[in-house]
Each structure stands twice: as C-alpha cells, then as structure tokens.
Chains A and B, each alone.
Chain A
Amino acid sequence: MGESLFLMIVGMVTVFTVLCLVVVLGNVIIRFVNRFLPEEVVAAKPSASAAPAIDPKVYSAICSAVSTVTGGKGSVVDVKKL
C-alpha cells in the first residue's frame, strides 16, 4: 500500500508538472512566434465595400453564423449575391 501511495503522489506530481510545462512552453512558443514569425495578416475584417451591398442585419447574421460554425476562427471577407 505504501508503495502504491508513493506512486500516486509521484505520478500525479509528475503528470501535473509535465502539463504545466505544456502550458508554459505553449505560451512561450506562441509569444516567440507572434514576435519573430508572425504570418502576414490577410485582410480578415469585412471590407467597407462588401457591407453596403447587403442588408446589415443579414450581414451580421452571416458573420455570427460563420463565427459559430468555425469556432471564432473564420471571418467573412465578402458577401456576394449569386
């Protein structure tokens, strides 16, 4: 029993240490990349010309739907009637 208790303490401490490292390293890498290797930002905001072509309410509904479906990653660049 003593050995298994020892293993539990050592194991949980090690697991949390490693996952804390994952968090810390992840943050460090993200900051490093943001500073030294930022990707060219493609115009992600809706252009001024795109919005007036469509009802603002419909446009905002599309933006909201895209944001929900893509988990906040996607953005609407242009909306055209086909």
Chain B
Amino acid sequence: MFDGLFEKLYEMTAVGAFVENPGYLLMLLISFVLLYLGIVKKYEPLLLIPIGFGVLLANLPGADLGIVAGDKIELGLDDEGRMMYMNLFEIAHEYGILNFLYYALIKTGLLPPLIFMGVGAMTDFGPMLRNLKLALFGGAAQFGIFAVLLIAMASGAFTIKEAASLAIIGGADGPTAIFTTIKLAPHLLGPIAIAAYSYMALVPVIIPLVVKLTCSEKELKINMKQQDKLFPPKYTIKNLRAVKIIFPIVLGTIVIILVPSAGPLLGMLLLGNLLKEIGSDTQRLTTAATDYIMNPATIILGLCVGATMTADVFLNLKTIGIVVGGFFAFALSIASGVMLVKLFNLFAKKKINPLCGATGLSAVPMASRVANEISTKYDPQNHVLQYCMSSNVSGVIGSAVAAGVLITFLG
C-alpha cells in the first residue's frame, strides 16, 4: 500500500522540476529581487510589483502560469495560406488564464495605448506651450534609440527587430517600449519591460551621472528666468485653456497623418490630454482614464509581462545584452539632448541650461524633477523645472514617433 509513497509524493510536488531545471530557482530569486526593489526600495512599485509577481507565478513549475510562445497557439495554414490560431477560449482552456489575458490584451497591443490615454490625462502641455522652442530638445534625446539600434546590430547578437525593440528602451517610456516590442519581438517582452522600467526608476541616478560627465558648472548655472528677462518671449498666451484644448486636436490630426503607425500611442495620449483639458464637462471620463482604466490595465500588463519571463526565455545571453544595451540607450539619449543644447548655445544669444536637453528623455515628470534638483544644487535660485518639462513632454511625443518609424519599417 505504501510502496513508492515517497516517490509519488515527490512526483506530485514541483520539487523534481527544480532539481531538473535549476533555472527555475534563479528566476524565483529574480522575482524576489524585483519585489524587493518595488516594495522596499520603491522603484516604480506600480509596475515592478505586478511584474515581479508575474515572474514568480510563471516560474512555479507545474502551475502552468507562464506565457507560452506564439507558435504554441498556431494551428497551421488554411487553404489560402494564412496562419490560423487558437481562439481565446481554447487558449484559456489549454494554457490557463494568464495566457488568455496575454493574448487578448497584450499581444493585440491594446493595453499600452490604454495606459497612454491615462498618461495623457495626467500630462500638462502647458509648460511646453509656454516654451515651445525647448520642445525640439526632446527630439535630440531620441538619438540614443537609433544609436543603440546601430550598436546592437553591429554586435551581431540581435536581429534587426530585436535590436529595434532593445533600442526603444532609450525612449524611457514603458508603454512605448512594450508596444514596440509586442509588434517587433514579442519573445523579448519580459527582459525589455524589466530593463525599461528599472532604468526609469534609476533616472535619479543616471541623469546626474551623465550630466556630471558632459556639463560644466558654468553651464549648469545658466538661469533660464534671467535669460527670459534678457530676451523676453515675443508674445504671451492670452487664453491658455483654449490653446490647450485646440493643441491635441490639431497635433493629433497632423502627426498621425504623417506617421500613422504612431497613431495608437499618440492618438490615445492626446485623447486623454484633451479630456483633461476640457475640464468639468469630461471630468468623469478623465477619472476613468487615469483611474478605472489605467489601474487595471497596469496590473494586467505588469502581471502578463512578468509571466512571459520563464526560465527558458529569460536566462540567456540576449537578456544580458538587453540590460547593457538598455543602459547605453538611456545614457546616450540624455547625452544627445545635452549635446544639442551645447551646440545651440554656441550660436544663440539666449543661452539654455543643458539640463533642458537632458530631460528630452521622456520619464515624465521624474526627469524634470531630477534636473531641477541638480540646478538648485548649483544655484538655489535657479529653478528649471518648468523649462525642463517642455523637452520632457516633447520627449514623450518624440519617442512615440520613433516607435512609429521602427514599427512602420520593421513591423
């Protein structure tokens, strides 16, 4: 009766799987580190905690909560040569509820634009509209994306789609990075999302490091308010509310005609912003965008992204390449923005604080806050927050456009 009892108990539990594949243990350790960073260190807790828990669930052998590769849901070609896929009911039945959520909400590219709508509803274009020229420096910061694309291709370790997904980490925009990776290299979604959000959490470390390496004290002391007094703007905005309402409508129309593939992200960002700017008439929709839609979307996105990180997928050299490449993408983006400001200052009478270039990397509004801390460290009267917010917000638009270009040519 008790013959082989321990053997059966051993087979019932998942202990055997850990012995067969110690990678599971390493992944559990990674999930604990992510949870620690989110809970204790408070690094992007809204994302890192669901992601960390997703990693934990996906790497509990036998629970079958990990996201399966796309080829597992393929059913073969139909008579016309088109690929057929399992329907969502079959996916849920065969691979569980997390795969159902992943293939219904993430793989379709639905959640990142929904989150972007919430981001738009929390974004204020006011500082950018007051300092429109500074918006151009948000463009320079996108150079990091394309520079890392080149470097990743030169390394020979990545295909061009994988390299583009890695490079978009330099946009410092989680939803944009996830959206691009879903379209180009979904098998790298986990490590890329982790790298993107980890480096965003490390913005207070990375920006001061790059600024220290690229800027002099004299440059960091450039007082933007004094420059405004010396060279006042040509005109003031007489009705900021009307400008803020018209701006997303006109901008969305024209930019999406130019770069249609940026439409899902940019369109939703601008819709969210429009709802916010209209004010009390659309207050309920604004609240829905920022709370009732964005919050569950964030939980599901984080959980599913974490669940893509199974031991087989995550533990390889590409992950290390993504971690290293992601850092360079971030650092190069910051440095490119700084360099364009320096170039501008060579020729312009009205000088600009290079911190306004450093914040061209999205990561709104943390990058601007960090820049303001740096400037006030050198001169307590020198508040650059409002100026940095201009390039910071335009950086969001710039990275969405860069993602659109990559998806158009490689998708």
Contact = CB atoms under 8 A, between A and B. Distances in A.
Contacts of A1: 150, 153-154
Given A18-B259, A22-B397, A71-B386, A8 B149 contact: yes
Interface in B262-285: none
A50 interface: no
Contacts of B128: 22, 26
A29 B149 contact: no
Interface in A1-31: 1, 3-5, 7-8, 10-12, 14-23, 25-27, 29-31
A49 interface: no
Interface string B229-261: 000000101110111001100110011001100
B114 to A, nearest CB: 23
Contact of B239 (A5, A19, A34): A34
A32 B239 CA distance: 10
B164 A8 contact: no
Interface in B365-411: 381, 383, 385-386, 394, 397-398, 401-402, 404-406, 409-410
B49 interface: no
A61 interface: no
A52 interface: no
Nearest to A3: B160
A21 B383 contact: no
A41 interface: yes
Nearest to B125: A26
Contacts, number: 127
Given A26-B247, A29-B247, A20 B136 contact: yes
B135 A23 contact: yes
Nearest to A11: B405
Contacts of B145: 11
Contact of B143 (A12, A21, A37): A12
Interface string A26-49: 110111111001110100000000
A65 to B, nearest CB: 12
A30 B235 contact: yes
B215 to A, nearest CB: 22
Contacts of A21: 251, 254-255, 258
A23 B237 contact: no
A71 B381 CA distance: 12
A29 B164 CA distance: 35
Contact of B129 (A30, A37, A68, A72): A30
Residue among B163, B258, B405 with the highest chain A CB neighbour number at 10 A? B405
B406 A11 contact: yes
A19 B129 contact: no
Contacts of A7: 146, 149, 164, 405-406, 409-410
Q: Which of A20, A32, A33, A37 has the most chain B CB atoms closer than 10 A to its own CB?
A: A33
B251 A25 contact: yes
Interface in B109-154: 128-129, 132-133, 135-136, 138-139, 142-143, 145-147, 149-150, 153-154
B132 A26 contact: yes
A68 to B, nearest CB: 7
Contacts of B160: 3-4
A34 B142 contact: no
12 contacts: A4-B163, A7-B405, A14-B401, A15-B139, A19-B135, A19-B138, A22-B135, A23-B136, A25-B251, A27-B132, A33-B237, A38-B239
Given A18-B258, A71-B386, 18 more contacts: A3-B153, A4-B149, A5-B150, A8-B149, A8-B150, A12-B146, A15-B401, A15-B402, A16-B139, A22-B132, A23-B135, A25-B251, A33-B237, A34-B238, A34-B239, A39-B238, A39-B241, A71-B385
